[in-house]
Structure 1
Amino acid sequence: MDTTTYFFDLLKTILPALIVAGAIFFLFRQYLEKEQQRRLIELRLDSSKTTLPLRLQAYERVTLLLERISPSNILVRLSSAGQNAADYHRLLQQEIRGEFEHNFSQQLYMTPETWAQVKQAKEDVLTMMNRAFHGLQNPTQLRGTELAKRILEGLMTDAADPTAPALAAVKREAAGLF
């Protein structure tokens, strides 16, 4: 009987201690999980403070790229005076490719779908200019203004700027940041 009493007394002492230790362990584990979540949220917030301005700047630069390679804008910016159609065509292609290559790194801040639309816009502009150039009878003898006229006629015939879909996609994506 003495050992049974001793065992029950020991059990009366150990059992509440085990219950208290289990509760403390459970509460401490919950506290650590919450603390880890809080730190993760803080880290994401700090990261977004750094990357948000960079992403907005990338959207601005790509918007500027699309505006600069738009047929109506590039023809106004690059004068065809004193050039034949072949030289002017080469100049237009170099300018478009140069603008694109200058802003190539901006794809890091965009979704692959939006960047694909930007690339497609560049290709559509080049295709439009190539189609107009190859539609000329004798490009080395014609003036650059004739090529510019053909490009603008093609733009009016298509009734849509080839950069418009990409520009809309960039604007949608940038608006999604807020």
Structure 2
Amino acid sequence: MTTLLTVVIGLMIAGFAGYLFYLQRKNQREEQHSKKTSVALQLQAYERLALLTDRIALPNLISRLGNPDVNASEMQFLLTKNIKDEFDYNISQQIYVSPEIWNAIRNLKENNLLIIHRVGTSVPSMASAATLNRAILEYLMQDPKANLHEVVSEALSYEAKKLF
């Protein structure tokens, strides 16, 4: 009888150990799946922010929004509105990237708005949009540090590559 009891207890312990092993493996698979999903979301955020950086780069923005039928004041409004709209559309991506990257994106936005405002105040409001656009591009050529979008793009690329 004691031999039977010993075998039953041994089987119960083995079954319990097997069940614990099964749970551990299941949790590991779920964690791996969760990590893969997290990395995919982070990569998607870096892609979207790289696109945002490209879209609000002043030379790209000017070529995309260039409209000969508006004056400098209207063009300044269009440029400013487009930057704010693009930024607002992508604001949720900040939860997937480092605070440093998000600050770089925010600084790019603010820097571009500042340049548009600074140059916009030096151009008569009734001048053509082309005059404002030319003045912004000349400002960027005179101040290489004003092309912040290149630095932000490199930082995004560097951080995205660290995910692998």
TM-score category, normalised to shorter length: 0.7 to 0.9
Q: Secondary structure at the match of 1:163?
A: helix
Query: 2:162 is matched with which residue?
Result: 176
Q: Deviations over 1:1-56 (max 9, x none)?
A: xxxxxxxxxxxxxxxxxxxxxxxx9xx99xx6x87765554332110222222211
2:73 is matched by which residue type in structure 1?
A
Query: 1:48 is matched with which residue?
Result: 35
Q: Distance in 1 between matches of 2:25 and 2:112?
A: 49
Task: Tell me if structure 2 keeps the 8 A contact 1:125–1:163.
Answer: no
Matches within 5 A, 1:6-45: 40-45=27-32
1:157 is matched by which residue type in structure 2?
Q
Q: 1:37 to 1:158 in 2, by over 3 A?
A: farther
1:156 is matched by which residue type in structure 2?
M
Q: Deviation of residue 108 (structure 1)?
A: 1.3
Query: Percent of counterpart pairs with the same letter?
Result: 35
Q: Secondary structure at the match of 2:127?
A: coil
1:172 is matched by which residue type in structure 2?
Y
**Runs of 5+ in structure 1 lacking a partner?**
1-24
Q: Distance in 2 between matches of 1:135 and 1:172?
A: 37
Q: Report which stretch shifted further, 44-53 or 86-95.
A: 44-53
Runs (4+) off by over 6 Å: 34-37
Equivalent position to 1:158, from 143, 146, 154: 143
Bigger CA radius of gyration: 1
Q: Distance in 2 between matches of 1:177 and 1:111?
A: 12
Q: Distance in 1 between matches of 2:99 and 2:82?
A: 24
Q: Deviation of residue 169 (structure 1)?
A: 1.6
Query: 2:89 is matched with which residue?
Result: 102
Query: 1:61 is matched with which residue?
Result: 48
**Runs of 5+ in structure 2 lacking a partner?**
1-12
Q: Deviation of residue 134 (structure 1)?
A: 1.1
